[in-house]
Each structure stands twice: as structure tokens, then as C-alpha cells.
Copies of this chain bind each other. A is one copy, B any other.
Amino acid sequence: MEFELRILGSGSATPVPNRHHTAQVLTVGNMLYLLDCGEGTQRRLLEHKISPHRLKVIFISHLHGDHFFGLFGLLGTMHLQGRTEPLHLFGPAGLDEVLTTQFRHSGTELGFELEYTLVDPTQHLLVYEDRNVTVHTMPMHHRIPCCGYLFREQPRRRSLVRELLPAGLTPTQLHQLAQGEDVVDEATGAMLVRHADVAGPPKHARSYAFCSDTVFTPSMAEMVHKVDILYHEATFLEELRERAAVTLHSTARQAGELARLADVGQLLIGHFSSRYRDLEPLLREARTEFSNTQLALEGTIVSVPTTAILA
């Protein structure tokens, strides 16, 4: 099963050539999750050949424009394209009022159900679950209520170990075991083969943590402990640490420090201030703390293979 993060944009508020506002698509198996939706996201989806119809769930971190101004246009396009399938939208309080006001004045009655779940950005709680993932909110610390999201893959079926399988199993019994079921004698109900006895070790449940926007908060390391991919904002270089503190943003070095404290698999940094045209200094700075760091450049794709092992 695929577990892939795709960066559509990771600029900050002021537009810069060749960078776009925050938006990401996480793909887990057959499900696509949109994380934030800055202005122009529907155009990014078009460029990446991702049909908006494939999106079932959207998670918005906070109501600063560079993180959600693309939502109106995207929802409008879904409507115009004849969507009927419900869409589930997660975001902080106010999102529903902003959207409702828009729709009222534009005379829009969506042809599909828009289900809001207003998240509480002060809590670390399970807010969403499907066959592929669970999603927990994570409190960020920013100028307005802001919510991170932690995705964890649902437990995957353990593989059967050929050497442990008893001889003489029928194809039906083998199939049952492969599906994770025990095999019992149909007549007597007696246990014949326990799945647990012939299955390999539990598979690593892959995980992704989206942390944007936030001031550096070392205690956050506990929530994102050992995630496979951590995206953490890195608006400034360390030389503007004061400015980061005042505006409740982080420096690249701080992002690296959090990755190190949390012992994550890899770090992606983004939400770069428009003052930085050359992003290499940000990358170098984060790497002084955590070497397995990448820039979340537009078009970056990071995936975690199924063979990733439990660290």
C-alpha cells in the first residue's frame, strides 16, 4: 500500500515566483488527504493531474489566508464538475462561517454534502478514522488557533510464514489465514490453526506529522515521536530567531532540533519566508541538528515503503 506525501506548495504568505502557498496531498492506499489549501491549490491539483473528485477529506490547519484561501475555488470547482459524493472538512472554528458567508453571497448551493468537523486546536485527540489511517489533532502554537495533524496507518495484515504453515491445508483454509483469520474445524468448532501462530511479526504502521504554523515547542516532540515523516515549518533562519518568537514561527534550526528530539525518520521543512530566494541556507541550518532533512519544494514527493521497519 502506497504511503506518499506530495508537496503542492510550501511558501509563506507573500507570493514569490515559483513557490506556492501551503498545500499537500497525502496518499495512503486508495485514499487521498488534502492538507491545507492555499490560494491556487485547485490549479496545483490540475498541474499534478490529481482530480479533485479523488479527495474525500480535507484538513485545514488554521485560518491564515495562505493556508486556506484556495478552498473556496476548489469547492466551487467540485460543485461545477458535478460532484455528488460528500466531502469531509476538518478545521478550526470559523471555517464554516467563512464558507457559509461566501456561498450565500455567491448564490452557491453545493450539489454535494459538505460535512464540517470543527477541531479543537488545543487538544491532541483522534478526530478521524477510515480503513487506511487514523488522524489525531496536535496543538500548534501560533498567533491564531492552529492545529497540526498526525496520520497513522491502520495496522496492516501480517504476512504468513511459509515454514510455520502445517501441511495439508486446503486452499480455503489458506485463504482464511491470509485474511488474518483463524482456521477452525467446521464440524466441531475446534481450533485447527491460529493465525497468530503462522504469521510474521507485526508490520510497521507508517506515520506522518504535519506541523504548520507554530513557534518552536520542544514538548511537541512527544506527540511526533518516531514518525516516519515530519513536516515542520521553518519560516526563518536562526539569525531571525527573535522575529520567529514574536511572530510565533520557527527557525530551520529549531525544526531540525524538534526532529532530533522526536527521533523521526525524516524531516521536511517548509513555509519559507519570501525574503529567502536561496533556500539552501535553511536546509544547511536544519541539517546541523538533523541530517535527514529535505526542503519541501513544490513537486517534492516523499514516500515510505511498506518494508519500513519498526525502529
Contact of A65 among B13, B40, B66, B76 (CB under 8 A): B76
In the complex, identify which listed stretch (A96-104, A149-157, A164-172, A230-238) lies at the interface while the others stay far away: A96-104
Q: Is A288 an interface residue (CB 8 A)?
A: no
In the complex, what residues of B have CB within 8 A of residue A54's CB? none
- Residues in B neighbouring A98, C-beta threshold 8 A: 101-102, 105
Partner-binding segment picked from A67-75, A276-284, A290-298: A67-75
* B77 with A14: CB separation less than 8 A: yes
Q: Which of A95-144 contact B (CB under 8 A)?
A: 95, 97-98, 101-102, 104-108, 143-144
With A13-B80, A65-B73: A97-B106 Cβ-Cβ less than 8 Å: no
**What's the tally of chain A residues with a CB closer than 8 Å to chain B?**
37
Contacts of A80 in B (CB 8 A): 13-14
- The answer on a CB contact under 8 Å between A39 and B106 is no
CA separation between A98 and B143, bound complex, in Å?
22
Most B Cβ at <10 Å: residue of A42, A47, A94, A105: A105
Taking the complex as formed, is A46 at the interface, i.e. its CB lies under 8 A from any CB of chain B? yes
Partner of A39, one of B13, B14, B47, B73: B73
Would you give the 0/1 interface string for A243-285, flagging 1 where the beta carbon is closer than 8 Å to chain B? 0000000000000000000000000000000000000000000
- A102 to B40 CA separation, bound complex (whole angstroms): 17
Contact present for A43 and B65 (CB under 8 Å): no
The count of identical subunits is 2
Complex-state Cα separation, A95 to B14, whole angstroms: 23
Tell whether A15 is near chain B: CB-to-CB under 8 Å.
Answer: yes
Nearest CB of chain B from residue A275's CB, rounded to whole Å: 12
Q: How long is the Cα–Cα vector from A95 to B40 in the complex, in angstroms?
A: 20
Q: Do residues A105 and B63 form an inter-chain contact, with CB atoms below 8 A?
A: yes
A306 is an interface residue with CB less than 8 A from chain B: no
Q: Across the interface, which residues of B come within 8 angstroms of A95, CB to CB?
A: 105
Chain B residues, CB < 8 A from A102? 65, 98
What's the least CB distance linking A4 to chain B, in Å? Answer: 23
Q: How far is the CA of A13 from the CA of B63 in the complex (A)?
A: 24
- Cβ contact of A14, chosen from B64, B81, B105, B106, cutoff 8 A: B81
